[in-house]
Copies of this chain bind each other. A is one copy, B any other.
Amino acid sequence: MSAKAVIHTYEPFATGEYEQRLARARKLMEADELDALLITTEANFRYFSGLHSQNWVSPTRPMFLVLGRDRAPIAVIPTGSRVVMRQSSWIADVRTWMAPKPSDDGVTLLIEALSEAVGRKKGRIGAEFGPETQVRMPLTDFFRVQKAMQPTEFVDGSAIPRRLRMVKSAGEIARVRAAAQLVSAGFEALPGMMHIGDSERDICLAMQIDLLRRGAENIQYMIAASGPEGYATINTNPSDRRVGAGDLFIIDTGSTIDGYFCDFDRNYAFGAASDAARRAHALVYEATDAGIAAARPGALLCDVWQAMARTMGKEAIAGSDVGRMGHGLGLNLTEPPSVHPDDRTVIEADMVLTIEPGIGYTAADGKRRVMVHEENLVVRANGAELLSRRAPPEMPVIR
């Protein structure tokens, strides 16, 4: 056997935890005068039901979860997902249809389930209409459901899962920490696995294999960029470009353990870093410290942004193009809130955040470069606790 998985297996969340999530959702449903929530997206479905399935990769078959305010939850799913539902979910009422069936892909079953959950003629159903989410089903089918449910109306209910998911349980935090620790170890080992002249793609392949061996469940996101004295953008795919002496190299990954993401990056100097690059890295490093220090219960998300902006200056920030300096993470690679000057969400204990300052700077050739740095943390009563292992203050130099 050439590979033995380091297994980061977690006991499934106890049914009690799911019941608590549902109880909290019901309180918010009561406040919002909603009779039911209709859930169609993978992360929200998993949050409330536990369902862990790769079938979401295929866009062919929708899956529905109906959370009644006063009725037991109902899952409406394709027959082919029945076993994985039984294996991973606590939901007892599971109704199935043999999908795909374009003439009625769960629509009749969904209407029945929603009608039972609402339990009265004119109700209000919350659906995933709001920011950072979608209704994951054909809209022609959604419109049919909407029509059949009249006079019951559909309104935006996305604030409820958003609100709940922003504050993590101990089990959720443990999973993000495990992912972040695993990737930290990978980033720390990476200098021993790369050399001047390796391509971005070679380095990412080595990193992927290393993370899988360390027990990463899935490496959904891995971007890389490099260039002389620095890189001009992030969010690009690893290329065949060979990283040469004098180049900077950034690698960023969103890898999961039991469904939960970490999301952070590291910068490496090949041969040597120029003065401009070292100054830029020192600045984002210092800003990261400021952001971590500002992430305390009671502060606003925009305060964290301002703390970093004070360190780096708004002009430098405008030279980056990321649009914010951190975000929530968990069952999604990125989720609310945003470390953004307009986000007035109040920070609470057990929020999990990335702190991700980025700046533009000018290299010796007079052209613009970008420098981004990132760590993952959980907010505690006394302040932030790192989930990733803090990067070294100086970029590692690859020789």
Residues on A facing B (Cβ under 8 Å): 1-5, 7, 9, 41, 43, 52-55, 57-60, 78-84, 87, 98-103, 105, 127-140, 143, 156, 158, 193-195, 198-199, 201-202, 205-206, 208-209, 212-213, 220-223, 232-237, 240, 254, 321-324, 327, 332-335, 338, 340, 342
Contacts and interface: CB of A to CB of B under 8 A. Distances in A.
Contacts of A54: 221-223, 235, 237
B132 A138 contact: yes
Main secondary structure on A side of the interface with B: loop
User: Which of A59, A84, A87, A99 has the most C-beta atoms of chain B within 10 angstroms of its own C-beta?
Assistant: A59
Contact of A52 (B7, B101, B156, B237): B237
Nearest to A105: B131
A373 to B, nearest CB: 16
B205 A55 contact: no
User: Which of A131, A221, A327 has the most C-beta atoms of chain B within 10 angstroms of its own C-beta?
Assistant: A131
A19 to B, nearest CB: 24
Given A5-B202, A83-B236, 9 more contacts: A1-B202, A3-B205, A57-B220, A58-B221, A60-B131, A60-B132, A82-B321, A100-B338, A135-B139
A261 to B, nearest CB: 9
A223 B58 CA distance: 13
